[in-house]
A and B are shown apart, each in its own frame.
Chain A
Amino acid sequence: MTKKQTCIFLIIVAAVIAALITGIVLTDGLYERDATIQETMQDVVLHERDKISLFGLAVNPGLISAFIVTGVILVFAAIVRIFVIPKFKLIPGKFQMLLEQAVGAFGGLARSNSPHKNGFLGAYIFAAGAYIFIGTLFELVGVPAVTAAGECVILPAPLSDINGAITLGCLSYLVILSGGIAANRLRGAGRTLKEFSLPVSMSFRMFGALLSGALVTELVYSYLALSFVLPVIVGVLFTVLHAIIQAYVLTMLTSLFYGEVSEPYVKKPKKQREKKVSSKTEVVQ
């Protein structure tokens, strides 16, 4: 590159930056919020003002996100089923390998944590993992929607809605319970019910993790000074990390507890009991 070309390049870059800054400053007033940041963040948590009408029902934006995410995943799965899977080869290509890795990873997680019974578990954690991962990445797209009050909102991740998080937490608990009952009948049910705090902890863990991400993002976007460079890290990196971590945590916990409650009961031999009793009596003496 000659000196002349370098000068032209630098002038163009400087002009573009100046134009962008001018535009940002001039358009700042157009996007002034009606609510304060406190009210906005309260809305993110409680969704009292930004409900969306779904066939006459006032629902949280997270539910609309959930439907969209499900639709996208199912359309993708249908396309893959029709056009890709019939052309699978013994020596896989890149996309086939990606699909096999995804399915194999969740199948392997189920098999390693629950070696005795894992057929249904593998399918469940695959669906849950895909839902959490893609649902969390969904907030990066920034799909707009109109609220019942006529305001515009950006659709959040489905699981940043407390109802979505409770659904997945409780459903995971029910899956664990069903695995316990299927493998060990009443003993399995007892083992699962012993962990009664599990649905609450799983639900609120996921809700808290995703909500905190949404709150931080909202906070960052609320200030002009934080709108340069930082959203790239906060918006993309944190969201991607959230997606991976939350998908892994819920699926791992579910498969772990499922394996624990579906483990076959092994009766302790009598000799050990007798030995224990005799050793206790010796200690007492």
Chain B
Amino acid sequence: MPLQLAAVPLNIDWQQILLHLLNFVILFAGLWLLLYKPVRSFMQKRREHYEKMDADAEKKQAEAEKARAEYEEKLAGAEQEIASQRRAAELQAEEYGARQRREAEELAKSILAEARADAARIRAQAEKDARADVAAIVTDAVEKLALKESASTAYDQFLAAVDAQSAASKKPAKGARTEKDHD
């Protein structure tokens, strides 16, 4: 038996209330499925996307800061290394210069020794040649004296020949002395 409408004030109808309720439940379900949930889901995904981007950016920034600190540390180490290498190079250059100087001195000594030996050899040779010349002159003079001239003439010739020979032999002897003085 249907409810009496007149019994309810303001014409409230329970059947229509249920119909309104059914209508709203359908609306709620439809809106939730078609609009609210997909839009919220999209907004949530976008928020997560930007949060992830933010986190990645922070992570990269932290890595960059770390790399920068390492770089600065390496840079400071490199400067120290450059200074130490410069010191080592300077020492090496000094050592090389000293060695070169020593070698030059040794070379100079050896050249000087050779020069002295040459000078002694040349002087000995000159003396030897002079003796041979004197002997030859004497021999020549004696022959002349013995064959053609008197003793006084021969003696004068002998003296003249000796003077000439000594004058000739003075030039190499003087050169040898100059080399000795030079040393």
Q: Let me know if A127 and B38 touch, CB within 8 A.
A: no
Q: Does A206 contact B (CB under 8 A)?
A: no
Contacts of A20 in B (CB 8 A): none
Which one of A48, A60, A124, A128 lies within 8 Å of B16 (CB-CB)? A60
Q: Let me know if B27 and A123 touch, CB within 8 A.
A: no
Contacts of B12 in A (CB 8 A): 162-163, 166
Q: Does A81 contact B (CB under 8 A)?
A: yes
Q: Let me know if B19 and A63 touch, CB within 8 A.
A: yes
Contacts of A81 in B (CB 8 A): 34-35, 38
Q: Let me know if B39 and A47 touch, CB within 8 A.
A: no
Docked Cα-Cα span, A161 to B19, in Å, equals 12
Q: Let me know if B15 and A57 touch, CB within 8 A.
A: yes
Q: Which stretch of A67-75, A186-194, A227-235, A266-274 is in the interface?
A: A67-75
Q: Does A173 contact B (CB under 8 A)?
A: no
Which one of A57, A60, A127 lies within 8 Å of B24 (CB-CB)? A127
Docked Cα-Cα span, A268 to B12, in Å, equals 45
Docked Cα-Cα span, A99 to B40, in Å, equals 10
Which one of B31, B38, B43 lies within 8 Å of A74 (CB-CB)? B31
User: Nearest Cβ distance between residue B91 and chain A, in whole angstroms?
Assistant: 65
Docked Cα-Cα span, A124 to B37, in Å, equals 12
Which one of A73, A85, A163 lies within 8 Å of B39 (CB-CB)? A85
Which one of A48, A73, A85, A88 lies within 8 Å of B27 (CB-CB)? A73
Q: Does A78 contact B (CB under 8 A)?
A: yes
Interface residues on chain B, size class: 20 to 34
- Residues 94-121 (chain B) with a chain A CB within 8 angstroms: none
Q: Does B163 contact A (CB under 8 A)?
A: no
Give the A-B pair count, Cβ closer than 8 A.
109
User: Nearest Cβ distance between residue A208 and chain B, in whole angstroms?
Assistant: 11
- Residues 4-47 (chain B) with a chain A CB within 8 angstroms: 10-13, 15-17, 19-21, 23-24, 26-28, 30-32, 34-40, 42-43, 46
Q: Let me know if A131 and B27 touch, CB within 8 A.
A: yes
Q: Let me know if B31 and A127 touch, CB within 8 A.
A: yes
Q: Let me know if A73 and B23 touch, CB within 8 A.
A: no
Q: Does B49 contact A (CB under 8 A)?
A: yes
Q: Does A100 contact B (CB under 8 A)?
A: yes
Q: Does A66 contact B (CB under 8 A)?
A: yes
Q: Let me know if B32 and A90 touch, CB within 8 A.
A: no
Docked Cα-Cα span, A100 to B43, in Å, equals 8
Docked Cα-Cα span, A124 to B15, in Å, equals 23
Which one of B16, B21, B27 lies within 8 Å of A127 (CB-CB)? B27
Docked Cα-Cα span, A104 to B46, in Å, equals 13
- Residues 33-71 (chain A) with a chain B CB within 8 angstroms: 45-48, 57, 59-60, 63, 66-67, 70
User: Nearest Cβ distance between residue A247 and chain B, in whole angstroms?
Assistant: 14
Which partner residue on chain B sits nearest A57 by CB separation?
B15
Docked Cα-Cα span, A164 to B27, in Å, equals 14
User: Nearest Cβ distance between residue A214 and chain B, in whole angstroms?
Assistant: 15
Q: Let me know if A80 and B35 touch, CB within 8 A.
A: yes
User: Nearest Cβ distance between residue B27 and chain A, in whole angstroms?
Assistant: 4
Docked Cα-Cα span, A164 to B32, in Å, equals 20
Q: Let me know if B21 and A48 touch, CB within 8 A.
A: no
Docked Cα-Cα span, A103 to B42, in Å, equals 11
Docked Cα-Cα span, A127 to B39, in Å, equals 14
Docked Cα-Cα span, A29 to B173, in Å, equals 167
A–B Cβ pairs within 8 angstroms, 9 of them:
A46-B10, A47-B11, A70-B26, A78-B34, A81-B34, A130-B31, A162-B12, A167-B21, A170-B17
The 5 closest A-B pairs by CB, nearest first: A167-B20, A77-B34, A127-B28, A163-B16, A81-B34
